[in-house]
Structure 1
C-alpha cells in the first residue's frame, strides 16, 4: 500500500523578542509593531497557518483555511485547532485594550463546537470582542464564522489582569 506523503516546513523567529518588548508597549502599540514587521509573529500563528486580519481596540479577527494538517483521526479539524484560533482572537481582543505594563492570563476557556470544520468549509474567521473589562478580570468572546456568517464554534474566556515587570 503506497500512500502519498505530505510534508510541511515551518520557520519562525524568536518569540521572546516580542514578549520582552510587549512589557513596554500598550496592546495596540504592540500589534502595530507586529504589523509593521518590527516584531515577530507568535510562532503559533505560523505553525497553525492562522492570519491576523484586523486588531483594533476591543476587537480582533483571525482567519485560517482548514487544511489536512489540522485534522484529527476522524477527518475533521481538531477541536484544539478551533479552540486555538478562538483563544487567539479573544486574547488579542483583550490585549488590544491594555496599557503598557499590564498583562493577562486565562483563568477559564469554554468552547462550544456547533458545526464540523473540514477542508470543504473554506476560509473561516474568528471574530473576538470584549464583553467586560474590570480592574482585575475581563470577559471576552469569539465566534468562528464562514463568509456567509454561519457559526461553527463560539468561545468565552475569563482572564486575570495583572501588572507586569514587578
Structure 2
C-alpha cells in the first residue's frame, strides 16, 4: 500500500452527502482522503491517486492474493481497475445531484500481470459526456508505460 493509502478510510459516503457534491469534488475527495474509498479498494490494494475533470488515475500493486490458478494476476483485477477509473472519470464531470452507473464495459488483456510486474496504473479518460450517457476509455500500464490491458465503458447518468 502507498503511504497516502494508509491514512484513508473505507466505506460508502451517504447518498445525501454525495448529492451535495459535484462529481469532481467527490472524486477529488477520494484522492485527498476526505471521502472514504470503496471497500473493494482495500481488498484489492488500490488507491485513487489523481483526479481532474474527465480524467482519473488509480494505482495498485498486485500481490499473491490476486493470482489465478495459472500463477498470474487474475484478469478481474484489471477489470475492476478499468471499471473504476473509467466510471470515476465520467463521475468527475457530473453536477451536484447527479450520479452514474456502468451499463456495459469491455476490456482486452494485452500482457500477463504478475507479482513481479510491480505497481500498475489505470487511467480513465472521458470520450463523450452527454446528458444521459457517458463513454470513457481506460488503459492499465506498468511503471515503464507498457500497455497491460485497455477497455471502454458506457455509463448511464441519472439524477440521484
TM-score, shorter chain, exceeding 0.5: yes
Match of 2:144 among 133, 148, 158: 148
Q: Which has the larger radius of gyration?
A: 1
**Change beyond 3 A, Cα 1:116–1:162:** same
Show the counterpart of 1:118: 114
In the comparison of the two structures, how many residue pairs are matched? 153
The answer to whether 1:137 aligns with 2:124 is: no
Query: Moved runs in structure 1, 4+ residues, more than 2 A?
Result: 17-20, 31-39
Show the counterpart of 2:52: 56
**Change beyond 3 A, Cα 1:146–1:45:** same
Show the counterpart of 1:68: 64
Deviation at 1:32, TM superposition (A): 3.5
- Segments of 5+ residues of structure 2 without an aligned counterpart are 1-8
**Change beyond 3 A, Cα 1:54–1:113:** same
The alignment partner of 1:28 has SS state of helix
**Change beyond 3 A, Cα 1:29–1:112:** same
Show the counterpart of 1:162: 158
Match of 1:106 among 93, 102, 105: 102
Kept in 1, the 8 Å contact 2:31–2:51? The answer is: no
- Segments of 5+ residues of structure 1 without an aligned counterpart are 1-11
The alignment partner of 1:66 has SS state of coil
Match of 1:33 among 29, 35, 39: 29
Show the counterpart of 1:3: none
The alignment partner of 2:105 has SS state of strand
* Counterpart Cα distance in 2 of 1:157 and 1:143: 12
How does the TM-score come out when normalised to structure 2? 0.88
The alignment partner of 2:71 has SS state of coil
Deviation at 1:73, TM superposition (A): 1.0
